[in-house]
Amino acid sequence: KHNLLLKPNSQEIDFGRVNAHLGRLRTKYQGNLATFKEVSGQQHPCKPSGTGSSANGGTGNVPLVDESEELWHGPITLGGQTIQVDFDTGSSDIILNQGSYTPSAQATKTGKTFQTGYGDGTTAKGQIYLDSLEIGGLKANGAAIGLANNKFLNSQEQDSGIAGMAFPALAQLKQDPFFDVLMKANVLQQPVFTFTLRQNQPSLFLGGIPSGLAEPVYVDVDSSQGFWGTQGSVNGNQTNSIQDTGTTLIVAPTSFAQTLFTSLNLQTFQQDGSTYATYDASNPPKIALQFGTFTQDLSPETLSFGQTNDGKPVLSIIGSDVGINSVIFGDSFLRNVTIVF
């Protein structure tokens, strides 16, 4: 099926689209680090040097739409209006396209504005409202909504906004993320949410862990840094890591990626300032990821995200300096696991 990073009806990678995705990622993380500094008064520890529960609570299941294995969006009801949004654990705010939401009669207009940029040159700016929230049958009041004055999302995308699920330290709206609103409303059985991003019935489960799953392996997260960040490794190479459902690939600092590619004897090439690696399809490399005591190899389906114009598979790990000294583990990793946040 059509993949948003591939040329139409082809397995050949459209590097222009990849570069646009990386640009948006770069701007998102630069904005996150700027917000962290504004809120905490300190530089984020992952900023590269030299660069600027209730026992009676419930659960809610949100079926997600797999859009070409690149975006995972589903419904959220704000002020009585159901809107398709991209659930993003790499940011903390609800930002909606112009025309996708009208504040309800009960909404509070805060009188405050927001502005955030994207790497493709698009800027989302507008008013901040507080309104009712319903998702997966769970209800709360006072969810912060940034309503843009323009349509900032690409027309190819079927969703009408972004719903951030990182920690408050990254909230550019200076309000609680929507999951924190649910927690404070005491409507959750447990203060956790679970993503399953495999092709077969992807879902977001709020307030617990779906039945039938094995006991999870727990890994320490430092929530004060704002991200869902852990210590991890790729083929034994230690790194800070961020689990980000709003990122398509696994994006590593260039030096980290180059070290990995060299250790695997992969051929590399540069495109738009990023470093890519190709491999022999008959002898694919093994990519072993570890977080605490949890280990996972990239599956054959997620090892590559497409081909070069001469048919060589391109590794799903790329080197690109997006302004943070961490490896960002996006869907190329997350599609291999069920992950509890």
Same domain as 241, residue 306: yes
pLDDT in tens, 226-246: 999 999 999 999 999 999 999
Shared-domain flag, residues 4 and 122: no
Rounded to whole angstroms, how far apart are CA atoms 199 and 203?
Answer: 10
Taking only the tens place, the pLDDT of each residue in 193-222 is 999 987 677 889 999 999 998 899 999 998
Has residue 203 been placed in a domain? Answer: no
Radius of gyration of the chain (CA): 19
Kind and range of the H or E run holding 268: strand 267-271
For residue 305, the enclosing domain spans 1-52+214-341
If phi > 0 it is left, if psi is from -120 to 50 it is alpha, else beta; for residue 162 that is: beta
User: Smallest Cα–Cα separation from 27: which of 145, 101, 103, 115?
Assistant: 115
* 118 and 171, same domain (yes or no): yes
- The structure tokens listed for 305 are 């995200």
- Is residue 82 in a domain? yes
18 domain residue, yes or no? yes
In a domain, 197, yes or no: no
CATH number at residue 275: 2.40.70.10
Within a domain: 58 = no
User: Is the pLDDT higher at 304 or at 214?
Assistant: 304
Instruction: Let me know whether 174 and 284 are in one domain.
Output: no
Active site (catalytic) residues: 88, 244
Which alpha helices (H) appear in the chain, and where do they start and end? Answer: 15-40, 178-184, 254-263, 300-303, 331-334
Same domain, 340 and 218: yes
**Is residue 88 domain-shared with residue 168, that is, in the same domain?**
yes
Does residue 163 sit within a domain? Answer: yes
**Any domain includes 205:** no
pLDDT, tens only, 61-116? 655 554 444 456 799 999 999 999 999 999 999 999 999 999 999 999 999 999 98
Is the domain of 153 the same as that of 243? no
